[in-house]
Amino acid sequence: MSEAAAEPGEQTAPGAREGAAKADTPANRPRVLLAENIGRSGAELLEQQFDVDDGAGWTREELAQRIGGYDGILIRSGTRLDEELLARAGRLKAVGRAGVGVDNVDVPAATRRGIVVANAPQSNVITAAEHTMALLLALARNIPLAHASLTGGAWERSRLSGVELHGKTLGILGFGRVGQLVAQRARGFGMHVVGFDPYVTAERYRELGVERAASIDDVYAAADFLTLHLPKTPETDGILDAAALAKCRDGVRVLNVARGSLVVEDDLRAALDSGKVAGAALDVFSSEPVTEHQLFGYPNVIVTPHLGASTAEATDRAGFQAAEQVVAALTGGVVTSAVNLPAIAAEDADLLGPFVPLCRALGRIAAALGEGSSIDRVETEFLGRIAERDTRLLALGALLGVLSGHTEEDVGVVNAPALAEERGIELAEIKRTAARDYTDLVRVTVVGGEQRERVVGTLFGRGDRPHLLEAWGQRFDVQLEDHLTIFRYRDVPGMIGRVGTIFGQHGININSAAVGRQPDGGAPGGDGGLAAMVITTDTAVPTEVLAEILSGAGFVAARTVSL
């Protein structure tokens, strides 16, 4: 915009200014920059309390020169706030991202500078759910193909006959906000809905009248229509591949309005060619933007250019919600969708600060050990000196570890409780000022039905090195590294050597290993002859390597976690 280069004090846009405050406003009012168009409602909310400038037309060089004069900034996806820009933002206290993701913000750099980064995680959930339903109906009734046929001069009623949704089974992988909204709408069409998401409680499924599948394979086997609403993680990347499609019903129809990387597109094409998959509706792709694709032109494939979040209402809602968060951050209010860690009080920072990453790691490990069951409850226990302090941040860190990578939204310590509540996950915190054998202990337990998985850890030494002390009912003492693998096996000679041999054959270097012992001091193998070992490695252990080890006699279970 031509006004972008205006000198401070000049008018730039209706209701938005650059430069010093007007004469009739306090000179010390916080200044907020709209680096992109966030919509009128959001801008008006900000203008009620701040001096708001419009920088939507600024180049990166202009932004770098002028960002140091602002207390808050609002962006969408077009502005990249990297460490270089944030280093120039000496006054900046809040970043509002008018959208769900924060991939274009260097969140760790912002956190180091005490800058709150907040997004609008609920802004597009309705829009995404409605787009899913639009594609579901279009796929069932061949609407795009029928439109093209009729406008092309043909009347092909018999060839374009579709199928009813009523009485069909919709399988949903990922039962977060969007998945739950899709389920509600699908049930309105008389569909039977079956979902899989271990991070949602059985009670929440019952409330929505949705069948909770015991495994992902059960969804594949039941679904007439299969829709994906999963986050992008190493575990979900390429989850719908040839092996998964082979487990589906013949003639299944597939929808993806989540992330393009969830689907192996070559495998989907092969399944369409063979007739295994009767049709597909795709709003997202492995590489975007894309105008030429191997599935474009398939008569039974519907495609849209990533429109899941694209409605006027969602755009305005995202801007308003992001503005609300910036207002809260700059006025001392409660920021409900911050994705980075809140500051630790100065008097507690030295003691509690190092425990935050430990709690997050223990949460991830506990969730991994409980894999295959739902998560109904997360219990945290703090023993020793730390129990004398405000440990809520530590409890939230453990919850963050449990949820991380398992929600559609970016999860942070601030929004983790709300995400847990939506999924029906109960939180509990216990504190005791005495800890046997150690100065401080942290216990994290994940409860799912009758299953309880507890892990215990602490910090050692001047470097506050995190150690795992208990898992799968047995005690260890192993320093936590980035990649951790735990085995449960029959307590017979040679098992550790077998693991080492197979790791070596696959070029996986072992950093450390520890064999468990019973908490009461008994020997390994006290649990019905089962023992456990923990191994840390330089790199992540591939699932096919775990499968190879588990195929050997005596190995019962294995979990690998990347911290």
CATH number of the domain that 506 lies in? 3.30.70.260
Residue 288 falls in the annotated catalytic set: yes
Of 471, 497, 526, which residue is a domain's last? 471
* pLDDT exceeds cutoff 90 at 478: yes
Which DSSP category does 527 fall into?
A: B
**Cis preceding-peptide flag for 289 (omega within 30 of 0):** yes
What CA–CA distance (Å, rounded) separates 210 from 206? 6
Average pLDDT of the chain is: 88
Domain that holds residue 528: 477-563
Helices of type H across 48-101? 60-66, 83-87
- Is residue 133 domain-shared with residue 276, that is, in the same domain? yes
Of 471, 488, 518, which residue is a domain's last? 471
Q: Which residue shows structure tokens 């969708």?
A: 337
> Is 172 part of a structural domain of the chain?
yes
* pLDDT exceeds cutoff 80 at 18: no
> Is 559 part of a structural domain of the chain?
yes
> Is 426 part of a structural domain of the chain?
yes
pLDDT at 518: 63
Residue 229 falls in the annotated catalytic set: no
> Is 336 part of a structural domain of the chain?
no
Task: Work out the number of other CB atoms within 10 angstroms of the CB of residue 268.
Answer: 24
What CA–CA distance (Å, rounded) separates 412 from 271? 38
pLDDT tens digits, residue range 376-409? 999 999 999 899 888 888 998 899 999 987 877 6
What CA–CA distance (Å, rounded) separates 351 from 535? 28
The pTM of the full predicted model, rounded to 2 decimals, is 0.74
- Is residue 176 domain-shared with residue 293, that is, in the same domain? yes
With bands split at pLDDT 50, 70 and 90, how would you rate the model's confidence at 112?
A: confident
pLDDT at 272: 98
CATH for 51 = 3.40.50.720
pLDDT at 519: 56
With beta carbons less than 8 A apart as the criterion, state whether 267 and 296 touch. Answer: no
Cα dihedral value 457, 462, 463, 466, nearest 10: -10
pLDDT at 2: 33
* pLDDT exceeds cutoff 90 at 69: yes
Question: Which is higher by pLDDT, 5 or 442?
Answer: 442
- Is residue 105 domain-shared with residue 83, that is, in the same domain? yes
- Is residue 235 domain-shared with residue 278, that is, in the same domain? yes
* pLDDT exceeds cutoff 80 at 345: no
Average pLDDT value for residue range 171-184: 96
Please, what is the Cα angle at 235 between 232 and 140, to 5 degrees? 60
Two tokens at 239? 């989850």
Average pLDDT value for residue range 52-57: 95
Residue 253 falls in the annotated catalytic set: no
Residue at 99: amino acid letter = G
pLDDT tens digits, residue range 142-177? 999 999 999 999 999 999 999 999 999 999 999 999
Residue 104 bridge partners (DSSP): none
pLDDT at 109: 87
With beta carbons less than 8 A apart as the criterion, state whether 178 and 309 touch. Answer: no
pLDDT tens digits, residue range 282-332? 999 999 899 999 999 999 999 999 999 889 999 899 999 999 999 999 997
* H/E stretch holding 33: strand 31-34
> Is 296 part of a structural domain of the chain?
yes
Look at 101-110, 348-357, 509-518 and tell me which has the smallest mean pLDDT. Answer: 348-357
Of 303, 322, 355, which residue is a domain's last? 303
Single out the residue of 105, 124, 100 nearest to residue 116, CA to CA. Answer: 105
> Is 32 part of a structural domain of the chain?
yes
What CA–CA distance (Å, rounded) separates 445 from 467? 16
With bands split at pLDDT 50, 70 and 90, how would you rate the model's confidence at 5?
A: very low
With beta carbons less than 8 A apart as the criterion, state whether 432 and 381 touch. Answer: yes
- Is residue 167 domain-shared with residue 32, that is, in the same domain? no
C-alpha pair distances (Å), 445 with each of 53, 124, 368, 426: 48, 33, 11, 12
Please tell me the total number of residues recorded for the chain in this structure: 563
DSSP for 416-439 reads: HHHHHHHTT-EEEEEEES--SSSS
Residue at 179: amino acid letter = G
- Is residue 388 domain-shared with residue 464, that is, in the same domain? yes
- Is residue 131 domain-shared with residue 233, that is, in the same domain? yes
- Is residue 232 domain-shared with residue 370, that is, in the same domain? no
Single out the residue of 235, 239, 277 nearest to residue 260, CA to CA. Answer: 239
Q: Which residues contact 26 (CB under 8 A, 6 or more apart)?
A: none
Single out the residue of 228, 280, 238, 289 nearest to residue 261, CA to CA. Answer: 238
* pLDDT exceeds cutoff 70 at 361: yes
User: For the chain, what is the domain count?
Assistant: 4
With bands split at pLDDT 50, 70 and 90, how would you rate the model's confidence at 450?
A: confident
Question: Which is higher by pLDDT, 469 or 437?
Answer: 469
Average pLDDT value for residue range 423-443: 90
- Is residue 118 domain-shared with residue 139, that is, in the same domain? no
* pLDDT exceeds cutoff 60 at 372: yes
Catalytic residue among 259, 360, 364, 443: 259
* pLDDT exceeds cutoff 50 at 23: no
Q: Which residues contact 391 (CB under 8 A, 6 or more apart)?
A: 352, 380, 382, 429, 431
Question: Which is higher by pLDDT, 374 or 502?
Answer: 502
Catalytic residue among 288, 292, 450, 544: 288
> Is 308 part of a structural domain of the chain?
no
- Is residue 345 domain-shared with residue 277, that is, in the same domain? no
Look at 52-66, 238-252, 345-359 and tell me which has the smallest mean pLDDT. Answer: 345-359
Question: Which is higher by pLDDT, 75 or 519?
Answer: 75
- Is residue 350 domain-shared with residue 453, that is, in the same domain? yes
> Is 429 part of a structural domain of the chain?
yes
- Is residue 436 domain-shared with residue 386, that is, in the same domain? yes
